[in-house]
């Protein structure tokens, strides 16, 4: 018999069963399960307030939110983006018939390196698609300046930035649009879900139609859309989880603080940074491992943790420009910082109810592995 339980990189936040059952009771009474019903409308309104954004449109997941936003803007040509991201970001670009152009990342916060964007802009460039990474926000002010200078759309993948603010402004209020994921692994979840935030009312109207097959009314279909509507049960889960998300973020901050306390000063480990003006959601705890200084590799730590039934994640690895489906089209060596970070980064378990003594156990394994390699 094991003395300890398995620890995974994340654990879904959920309300009590009683709270969720009470929230879905009127769904059963009404038999209204989908098509932007009462729960959908209620959650949408609540999120607009919580995220401090003028408009939010709910969708079935974060990927469809991104894919349909690109479609709604009717973009053509090249989109400057990062390879240090989840597959969804790059796939949404390609599935819209657009060409991703990969820009390297900043070695400190792992977001798009704004000093390298303009060199990639040409007459085919139509947009910039930056990614807020691990809760680190992009240099939105410089990206806005560059986009304005060249007449480009800016669409943020904000899947990691739910509830965050920069200088008091909601993360979803920057750019032409921002996309959030409400997947079960995120700080806030609707089991599966996502949303688009924007100040552009015409974009919201377009998305409303596109997510329902492009149907404008009973007799008019204006575009080739898809079925990307959030159902009422998912919205109900979101309504419940939104009540508790601030408390969950505070609990995450305690876990993050314990990691920083235990691992600070460990030679060869780059720990998460604190960004000026950013209210963090503590969504991830990434550590990059310099093998020359640490005495071991990222994979050594990953394997040692796994041997102790602690399941961390190599996130993001590999880079999207190294995927098999893009073989021969891109060279990961063209983004050397992103390539190095992808080979050295490991995200450690973090979720609201992760006990601090388990955080200590995780840190003990890491420090022991490093010590054995020296």
CATH at 96: 3.40.640.10
Closest CA to 204 of 56, 48, 35: 56
pTM, two decimal places: 0.96
> In terms of C-beta density within 10 A (0-12 exposed, 13-18 middle, 19 or more buried), how is residue 116 classed?
middle
Range of the domain at 302: 245-373
> Domain tally for the chain?
2
> Is residue 335 domain-resident?
yes
C-alpha triplet 19, 189, 191: angle, nearest 5°: 80
Residues 185, 296 within the same domain: no
CA 345 centroid distance within chain: 16
What residue ranges in the chain does DSSP mark as E strands? Answer: 7-8, 55-59, 78-81, 99-102, 125-129, 153-157, 165-166, 169-170, 177-181, 194-198, 215-217, 220-221, 269-270, 278-279, 285-289, 310-311, 345-348
For residue 169, count other CB atoms closer than 10 A to its CB.
14
The overall longest dimension of the chain from CA atoms, in Å, is 72
Do 133 and 179 share a structural domain?
Answer: yes
Task: Output phi, psi for 136, to 5 deg.
Answer: -80, 125
CATH code for position 328: 3.90.1150.10
DSSP structural state of residue 188: S
Contacts 24+ apart (CB under 8 A), 311-315: 311/6, 311/7, 311/8, 311/9, 311/349, 312/9, 312/346, 312/347, 312/348, 312/349, 313/9, 313/346, 313/347, 314/342, 314/345, 314/346, 314/347, 315/9, 315/284, 315/286, 315/345, 315/346, 315/347
Same domain, 264 and 359: yes
Strands 169-170 and 165-166: antiparallel
β-bridge pairing 153-157 and 7-8:
unpaired
Residues 225, 264 share a domain: no
Residue that is last in its domain, among 210, 240, 270: 240
Pair 70, 212 in one domain:
yes
Q: Per-residue pLDDT for the chain (374 aa), expressed as one digit of tens each?
A: 456 789 999 999 999 999 999 999 999 999 999 999 999 999 999 999 999 999 999 999 999 999 999 999 999 999 999 999 999 999 999 999 999 999 999 999 999 999 999 999 999 999 999 999 999 999 999 999 999 999 999 999 999 999 999 999 999 999 999 999 999 999 999 999 999 999 999 999 999 999 999 999 999 999 999 999 999 999 999 999 999 999 999 999 999 999 999 999 999 999 999 999 999 999 999 999 999 999 999 999 999 999 999 999 999 999 999 999 999 999 999 999 999 999 999 999 999 999 999 999 999 999 999 998 76
Instruction: Note whether 117 and 210 are same-domain residues.
Output: yes
Same domain, 114 and 179: yes
Task: Return the structure tokens found at 326.
Answer: 């893009």
Q: Are 195 and 182 in contact (CB under 8 A)?
A: yes
Residue 332, domain member (yes or no): yes
Q: Please, what's the b/e burial string for 133-143 (b: 16 or more CB within 10 A of its CB; e: otherwise)?
A: bbbbbbbbeeb
- For residues 82 and 199, membership in a common domain is answered with yes
Q: What's the pLDDT at 1? A: 41
Residue 288 sits in the same domain as residue 235: no
Instruction: Indicate if 223 and 280 belong to the same structural domain.
Output: no
3-state secondary structure at position 321? helix
């Amino acid at each position: 018999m094991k003395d300890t339980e398995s620890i995974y990189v994340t654990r879904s936040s959920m309300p009590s069963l009683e709270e969720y059952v009470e929230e879905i009771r009127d769904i059963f009474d009404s038999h209204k399960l989908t098509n932007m019903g009462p729960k959908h409308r209620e959650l949408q309104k609540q999120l607009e307030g919580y995220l401090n954004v003028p408009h939010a449109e709910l969708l079935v997941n974060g990927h469809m939110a991104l894919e349909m936003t690109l479609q709604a803007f009717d973009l053509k040509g090249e989109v400057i983006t990062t390879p240090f991201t989840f597959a969804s970001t790059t796939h949404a670009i390609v599935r819209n018939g657009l060409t991703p152009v990969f820009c390297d990342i900043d070695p400190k916060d792992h977001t798009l390196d704004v000093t390298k964007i303009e060199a990639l802009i040409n007459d085919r460039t139509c947009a910039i698609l930056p990614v807020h990474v691990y809760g680190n926000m992009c240099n939105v002010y410089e990206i806005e300046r560059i986009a304005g200078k060249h007449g480009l759309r800016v669409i943020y993948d904000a899947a990691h930035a739910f509830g965050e603010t920069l200088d008091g402004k909601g993360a979803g209020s920057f750019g032409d649009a921002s996309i959030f994921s409400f997947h079960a692994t995120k700080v806030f979840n609707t089991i599966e879900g996502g949303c688009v935030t924007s100040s552009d009312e015409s974009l919201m109207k377009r998305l409303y139609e596109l997510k329902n097959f492009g149907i404008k009314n009973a007799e008019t279909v204006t575009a080739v859309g898809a079925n990307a509507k959030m159902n009422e049960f998912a919205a109900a889960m979101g309504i419940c989880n939104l009540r508790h998300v601030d408390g969950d973020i505070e609990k995450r901050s305690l876990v993050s603080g314990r990691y920083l306390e235990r691992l600070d000063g460990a030679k060869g480990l780059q720990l998460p940074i604190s960004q000026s003006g950013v209210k963090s959601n503590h969504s991830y705890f990434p550590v990059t491992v310099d093998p020359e200084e640490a005495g071991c590799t990222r994979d050594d730590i990953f394997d040692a943790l796994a041997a102790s039934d602690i399941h961390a994640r190599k996130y993001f690895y590999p880079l999207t420009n190294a995927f098999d489906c893009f073989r021969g089209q891109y060279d990961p060596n063209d983004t050397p910082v992103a390539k190095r970070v992808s080979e050295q980064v490991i995200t450690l378990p973090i979720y609201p109810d992760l006990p601090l003594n388990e955080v200590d156990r995780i840190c003990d394994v890491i420090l022991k592995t490093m010590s054995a390699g020296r």
